[in-house]
Structure 1
């Protein structure tokens, strides 16, 4: 590949399913962009999507919550669990959450210590580990 060639990218859009999902893969990262309200009923589908991508071992795996106005505590817990699983296999994992409606519950639940959160997709690099590790209880 020439150094000035654009990176190969694959984008898959599933707007009809709940939650609406856009999956973008490049050589550097995979972005799972979600849209709409997320609640506990969405966790099984999110598990299939995110765990499937994690199984491919991308260097970076981002879950973009930019278009998510509401995210339940169970979904946030699930994302923290996925961050721990990603760390265990050497994948850098983070949520992109620019809105207070998602960031505030993460902080109140203490999950921001286990789940790296970026303010935007163009933000600084994903940290290798959260600044303080916290055990994640899996129900």
Structure 2
């Protein structure tokens, strides 16, 4: 994208379109897979910011409208999570809940976890781990494998008493 093409834009929407059309400026990828029956995984890598969020939201919305009862967002490749992305995640989570679908996040990267924690939204989402959704995990029903995030437990003086025995 050239400087003149940016200067000639009249609105943010035009600027966003110009950036999206310039692939060398957008380090963002999404792919979809079905590792097992009833589960659709959306792999996301790169930056989820105001430029990439519209495409992300549209793809995930289509996946929520599919026949799969479980949609997993694998965000382990995300390097930046902007405010717009957090708003969209909250909206998608609500939409999934209303339609009877299950939306799960696979995180574990600071770029995703930290903004959700700081804003107090980490507990709002359902979390899973990648192996849960692989085909080898067929032994146990997916619902039994879901886990909510558990913050580290603060250490108390109990361990000192146990060590002195």
Q: Among residues 87, 105, 109, which one is paired with 2:97 in the alignment?
A: 87
Structure 1 residue 107 displacement after superposition: 1.1
Pick the structure with greater CA Rg: 2
User: Are the aligned partners of 1:92 and 1:126 in contact in 2 as well (CA < 8 Å)?
Assistant: no
User: Are the aligned partners of 2:38 and 2:67 in contact in 1 as well (CA < 8 Å)?
Assistant: no
C-alpha distance in 2, partners of 1:45/1:110?
Answer: 25
State whether structure 2 residue 80 is matched by structure 1 residue 70.
yes
C-alpha distance in 1, partners of 2:124/2:73?
Answer: 14
- Consecutive unaligned residues of structure 1, counting only runs of 5 or more, are 1-15, 131-139
C-alpha distance in 2, partners of 1:100/1:46?
Answer: 20
State whether structure 2 residue 41 is matched by structure 1 residue 41.
no
* TM-aligned CA distance change 1:57 to 1:82, over 3 Å: farther
TM-score (norm 1): 0.71
- Consecutive unaligned residues of structure 2, counting only runs of 5 or more, are 1-22, 133-143, 150-165
- Provide the alpha-carbon RMSD of the alignment: 2.4
Q: Among residues 8, 11, 19, which one is paired with 2:28 in the alignment?
A: 19
Displaced runs of 4 or more, over 6 A: none
* TM-aligned CA distance change 1:18 to 1:51, over 3 Å: farther
- Please state which structure has a larger fraction of its residues in helix: 2
C-alpha distance in 1, partners of 2:33/2:27?
Answer: 18
User: Are the aligned partners of 1:57 and 1:91 in contact in 2 as well (CA < 8 Å)?
Assistant: no
TM-score (norm 2): 0.61
Residue number in structure 1 paired with 2:130: 121
C-alpha distance in 1, partners of 2:114/2:96?
Answer: 23
C-alpha distance in 2, partners of 1:125/1:60?
Answer: 12
Structure 1 residue 18 displacement after superposition: 5.8
